[in-house]
Amino acid sequence: MTKDLFILKLHDIGAVKFGEFTLKSGYKSPFYFDLRDMISYPELLDGIADLLVEDIKNLDFDYISGVPYTALPIATLVADMLNKPLIYIRKEEKAYGTKNDVIGKYEKGGKVLIIDDLVTTGESLFETADKFKKAGLKVVDFSVIIDRSNHIEYYINKLGYKLHSLISLNKITDVLHENNRITNDHVLRIKEFTKNIYDQSKSEKSLQNHLTNLLKEKIKKKKSNLVLSLDVDNQKEFFEILGKTAEHIVMLKTHVDILNDFNEKFIEKLKEYALKYDFMIFEDRKFADIGNTVRKQYLGGIYKIKNWADFITVHATPGEGIIQGLFDGLTGKSSFLLAKMSSKGNLMNETYTRNVFNMGEKHHEVVSGYICHANGKEELRKLKNKIPKGQLMLMPGVKLQAGQDTTGQQYTTVEDAMEGGADLIIVGRGIIEAENPEATAKEYRERAWRVYGLDV
């Protein structure tokens, strides 16, 4: 089957429709694609499998996967035709524990090609790829039937993947127009719509990298803005406190170099907790050297931070070479830049902070936000207003009551932090030194969400 014929048939069965549709986001769209029913038309299913096989047969991969539900039966056919093993990621939430998300037999280190029916933002592809990577597999190629975004390929390639799409929205529009299925007016409306979406995604979303998106989704899902800073010196205490508080946090901040009994088991256990309780991992090793050195510190040594931390903190003082040194050639990792610290008398003045925001904006693919502290919500709000749209503000130096410690740490209240615009609060001793860390973590989380949740 040719691509043109395939498009016409999709139109025949109502899988591509033109008119006026209201999307989940509230936008009105002049087209609507839904390929779910395609599997009930053997001729179409065969046709698409042939086209996909032709498109991917020369790529280098060991396994084929499809994103459930729509793409899974399609991937099954393709895997069979290419005589490759099929594996996939379970759709339902996994039961607690360390059980794998991957269904099927595989060897670690193998390369998976992921098939999906549609791509718009790339989120479901990224999410699937992350799960395969967690299971020790490699992902390079995504194969999709329809790219309805008109611009996502650039972004996907930047993240280190390769997108192979069979049919673009433009192609569908052209074929249906040539065959008198849609009018000139329709074509104009589609072009106008995609241009608007593109402009808007450029201005608002382009500063959000994949990890920022994941973190934002988790904030909403767990209804939590709480980042626990677990600065204790032994594993026993670490996991005792984590076990009691993990359900309330969206991210865990570590300083692994504080532990006096660090070993590889610690990392394994940490990852298990992160999976089980659904939080992200942020290692607060504040990198602050030339690019060449920080790269070695990030990838090597005994901690091998890159292998397990989703985020790290970076000082902008050495200039942007530090960001290149840390992240060039890596995917799926991100950072927070220190823009205004919480310690009294720190040397970060207004100009410095502004320059940090500029650097982070430029490198938004690997910078998810900024560590900012202020003594009060007005001052914090001023900082928030300068943060590039889409990036996050994380506030350390937070307690239930304002105050100071004996070495210059300054504390602002949860309410001031959140009303000042913080997306996340970083809390250490307020929780870990509390009589009841569990109840206290819950209280921090609820007090923060009371403010933040109003806008969600």
- Told to check if 429 binds ligand S5P by CB under 6 A, we report yes
359 is written with which tokens?
């650097």
- Told to check if 353 binds ligand S5P by CB under 6 A, we report no
- Helix 123-134 × helix 210-222 angle, to 10°: 90
- Told to check if 414 binds ligand S5P by CB under 6 A, we report no
Beta bridge partners of 168: 147
- Told to check if 153 binds ligand S5P by CB under 6 A, we report no
- Told to check if 420 binds ligand S5P by CB under 6 A, we report no
Q: 192 CB contacts (<8 Å, ≥6 apart)?
A: none
Give CA angle at 71 (66, 73), nearest 5°.
90
Q: Which of 341, 383, 393, 441 binds ligand S5P (CB under 6 A)?
A: 341
- Told to check if 371 binds ligand S5P by CB under 6 A, we report yes
- Told to check if 257 binds ligand S5P by CB under 6 A, we report no
Q: Which of 156, 167, 414, 426 binds ligand S5P (CB under 6 A)?
A: 426
Listing from the earlier edge strand, what are the strands of the sheet with 138-147? Answer: 63-66, 111-119, 138-147, 162-168
Q: What are phi and psi of 369, to 5 degrees?
A: 170, -160
- Told to check if 66 binds ligand S5P by CB under 6 A, we report no
- Told to check if 313 binds ligand S5P by CB under 6 A, we report yes
Q: 10 CB contacts (<8 Å, ≥6 apart)?
A: 16, 35, 38, 44
Q: Which stretch binds ligand S5P (CB under 6 A): 158-166, 177-185, 233-241, 423-431?
A: 423-431
Q: How many residues bind ligand S5P (CB under 6 A)?
A: 17
Do β-strands 398-399 and 111-119 pair in parallel, antiparallel, or remain unpaired?
A: unpaired
- Please state the closest distance from residue 302 (CB atom) to ligand S5P, in A: 20
Q: Which of 130, 153, 284, 310 binds ligand S5P (CB under 6 A)?
A: 284
Q: Which is nearer to ligand S5P, 334 or 409 (CB)?
A: 409
Residues belonging to the active site: 286, 289
- Please state the closest distance from residue 411 (CB atom) to ligand S5P, in A: 7
103 is written with which tokens?
């269904």
Burial 136-161 (b: 16+ CB within 10 A, else e): ebebebbbbbbbbbbebbebbeeeeb
- Told to check if 380 binds ligand S5P by CB under 6 A, we report no
- Told to check if 373 binds ligand S5P by CB under 6 A, we report yes
Q: 116 CB contacts (<8 Å, ≥6 apart)?
A: 66, 67, 70, 71, 124, 125, 128, 142, 143, 144, 145
Q: How far apart are the first and last CA of the chain?
A: 46
Annotate each residue in 387-406 with x if it binds ligand S5P (CB under 6 A) or - if it does not, as one string: ---------xx---------
CA 396/CA 431 separation, integer angstroms: 13
251 is written with which tokens?
């991210």
Q: Which is nearer to ligand S5P, 11 or 373 (CB)?
A: 373
Q: Which of 409, 412, 413, 440 binds ligand S5P (CB under 6 A)?
A: 409
CA 366/CA 451 separation, integer angstroms: 28
Q: Which is nearer to ligand S5P, 257 or 289 (CB)?
A: 257
Q: Which of 342, 353, 413, 440 binds ligand S5P (CB under 6 A)?
A: 342
Q: Which is nearer to ligand S5P, 71 or 371 (CB)?
A: 371
**Maximal CA-CA distance, the chain:** 77
Q: DSSP states of 323-337 as a string?
A: HHHHHTT--S-EEEE
Q: Which is nearer to ligand S5P, 70 or 229 (CB)?
A: 229
Contacts of ligand S5P in 2-31 (CB under 6 A): none
Annotate each residue in 175-214 with x if it binds ligand S5P (CB under 6 A) or - if it does not, as one string: ----------------------------------------
- Told to check if 285 binds ligand S5P by CB under 6 A, we report no
- Please state the closest distance from residue 349 (CB atom) to ligand S5P, in A: 14
Query: Which helix or strand (DSSP H or E) is residue 151 part of?
Result: none
Task: Report the amino acid identity of residue 49.
Answer: A
Q: Which spans of this chain sit near ligand S5P (rule: CB under 6 A)?
A: 229, 231, 255, 284, 313, 341-342, 371, 373, 396-397, 409, 426-430
